[in-house]
Structure 1
Amino acid sequence: MSYPSTLDSRGLRNWATRAVGELAHRRDEINALNVFPVPDSDTGSNMAHTMEAAVAELDNGGDVADALALGAVRGARGNSGMVLSQVLRGVAESTVESVIDGSVFARSLQQAVELVDRAIAEPVEGTVITVLQAAAEAADDAAAQSSATLHSIVSAAIAAARTALERTPSQLPALREAGVVDAGGAGLVILLESLLAEIEGSTGRTGVLEPETDTELEVVFFFEGDIDALQTAIAPLGDSLVIARATENSANVHIHSFQAGAVIETAFAKGKATNLHIEALPAHVDPAAENSVARRVFAAAPAGPITDLLESAGVTVVPPDAPLAVEEDDIVLSTGLSMETDAGRVVPAQSLAAALAAISVYEPDNPDTVAVVAAMRDAAKSMRVAYPSQETLPSIIATCRDLLAEGGEQATILSALDIDEEDLAQQLRVDVVALKVPDIATEIGVE
């Protein structure tokens, strides 16, 4: 079978989005391997976040390889995220106009090794660094063969990386005692496997650490293009699909899927996808089972986009002054209610933004109502909310900056004004979700 001899900027972008999907999909699996240098179970999360930051930087335009490297370096978390960022930096420093062939790939891994050696004063054998070195050496040897191709060189690097990963327990006592391989090395193998999958045009999952059970992911992004075509293409890939249109050709898209990589690839293929965010969802419980959850969630909200969004998430929206007939385990979001209630489980939410934050973590199939309510209360409480002094875009931006000065990864804006999410996200350097709500005083929440 013949494979492409090069990947252009589009192929590089696709590789990155595949890697985002795979690392996010297997985040918990990699976290479970994390026992060195400290057992803080965050390597999978760190690598997924680093790759998400790399892809997010693509929204700012420019050379694809440079953007991926810049985003990864800026967003790198932990040692493993730093190593991943240096691989992308190696690619950026080895390619011209974001085109990768076999020799460029081999050179980029060697460059990454040199960059990591400079960054880490005392490298430890049996970690992701060992796996990277093995992959780089194998790629270099394969590139020296007269019959070398991009596919053969990447395949050789993956084979060597897998072998090195399998040997890590024999090199590091902490791994041997726990009976696991190195978590960062596992993430690096997934990154390389995503590249091979892009070269082969594969849509299936491969890997040395295939999880026993799939993890469902929440995928959220802003899309510009043919929305109807996107909906037709991704609807079969998951459920809980919500497409909140900003215009006829742009929308905020939300879907739960076991095929996050395929969703992301489809979005990039159908148009422009920005503000990408991925989170692992709790394990699915069959609602038809005997212990299915019968509770309901109530909230008051103005008619329009907010009500549509809440109802799409399974919330029963009521008028502010409506009497509530609730059961003991029903959940009531206090936002907008003109009368107090002590019935059910109340989630204090002093703003619509806080209510949206609470419902974003609601687990409808989790039978532990106490835990569900606690998570919703924490989410609502963590949403910092402010109101601009004037109903103008400059005042909104200033208020956002004031809130973000204390930290935050996303700004949620509810306003009667037209807000360009993409433009504002570029100015604020965080994800922005803006909903147009008629006849409302602008409300801004940061989390």
Structure 2
Amino acid sequence: MRSATNIMNVLNGQVWKQMMVAGARALEIKKHDVDALNVFPVPDGDTGTNMFLTIQSAARDAEKILSDSIGEVATAASMGSLMGARGNSGVILSQLLRGIAKGFDGLSTANSLQVAQALQAGVDTAYKAVMKPVEGTILTVSRETARGALTKAKGGGSLLETLQEAERKGLEALARTPDLLPALKQAGVVDAGGQGFLIILGGWIAVLKGDTRVGDNLPNLEKTSAPRVQKTQESHETKPGFMQIESLEFPYCTEFLVKGSNLRVEQIRQDLTDRGDSLLVVGTPEVVKIHVHVKNPGKILDYAIQWGSLHAVEIHNMLEQNENMAHAKKTKQDSQEPVPDKSITEEDCNPWKEYGVVAVAMGQGIADVFQSLGADEVVYGGQTMNPSTEDLAEAVRKISSRHVYILPNNGNIIMAARQVKDVVQDREIYVIPSKSIPQGISALLNFNTEGEAETNIQNMELALGQVHSGEVTYAVRDSQYGTLDISSGDILGLVEDVIVTTGQSLLDVAQSTLEKMEWQTHDLVTIFYGEETKQEEVERLRNWLSEVNPNVEVEVHPGRQPLYYYIFGVE
């Protein structure tokens, strides 16, 4: 750790790196406390976890930079946060770090005024990224921290004094968030995203104070990496004959940084397009990050070194990583009837197609439905397990399509999905803002593989409003919601993400929720039942629907989703 005296006078890249790591570790300690600051008493409080995974990704990429330039380290942290962003709070955090990196661009070191200006640039970037900014959130808290920092820095404050004033103003703003958002006041909590941001800021301040205790008892960031949310390959592995190890054409996952001057990102991307798959080339004229799957990593490195110096080179043999999975798959196949090989067609030789679809699903049964309706890739995620921008980008890159539609199927995933356009630039990405599983299915049913891209967008977005969505879950704490007195463990019914009914009986709450959705005035009720819902409960609900109104068609599917006993679609 550098001395506090040096740190307080000027900030360089290595210190900023330490601050990123400290911020991540501070939030790791407090992430579950932040998760608990959930307006709804439903089991989906994941703001702290999402923000931690986002800042953890930023810290991990920052740690790979050896340069003392704060501009270079901040750029790497920004890129890491972009790739690791999860949930709305994580995406906004990534935008704050993106703006901060812009503020540090071209700087080797930063004084207190430059740091304050970078914080303000982060706030400006975050506000622009949100279509309809809402006050009383992380946006408000970050804005007030930047204002506090600017005031102190302009008055001659040191780096430490500047960030301490930023924290003080942020805490004042956080305390006011319930006055700006009635839902916070009713739940008796402050904004979770704002709290998470201030915890990260506290980690930064600890570094400036020379406090080495932040996270010292925690394992390395590399070792605390959360498991991938995306499990697309697992869903395919239930299909005999889907993939053999020897079919992996590009077995080496190769990732590294190139540092130089006047690096041409677009030219590098174009030159590497035909040399492998899962290509990612992003960065600036000074630092470029390259990720690609290839046959011969040496050739890629030989090409890249012509542009500048190579750093943080990582090469993984995916054949070796897949051996255990393939062995397990073969064991399973041996117990099944053989599946005849398909003849090679002209389409197999030219796999690129016009359109592809990525859908997010929160259960294997729901994933199976999306795949049966034509989704090319399914990313596992939903409440409490929001996929990152990188998870979604990897799914997009697996599809050999010029135009790819993403169905987030959750309001907390839409922002991360929209960032995929910044990561995957060799395809046209369209995000259909589906907020629920029924909306996503309705949109996919209105997708036409022969239609024009814009026509598909219009039809799919129109379909979102043609279906009503409901859920049945349980309360994780005592609370007051509107006129409802809710006790921990109560069964809750939600319609369009609003709690409308509560009770002790699963059947009673399910019936009440469907009544609130006015199911009898529609033609179709679709039910996805969860992994903890007993079959007899499902049959009781199905029989009730048939008895009350046999003219309404009812479809029942084993969604196998966690946390939610039922997901309803009424149309």
TM-score, normalised with respect to structure 1: 0.50
Q: Which has the greater radius of gyration? A: 2
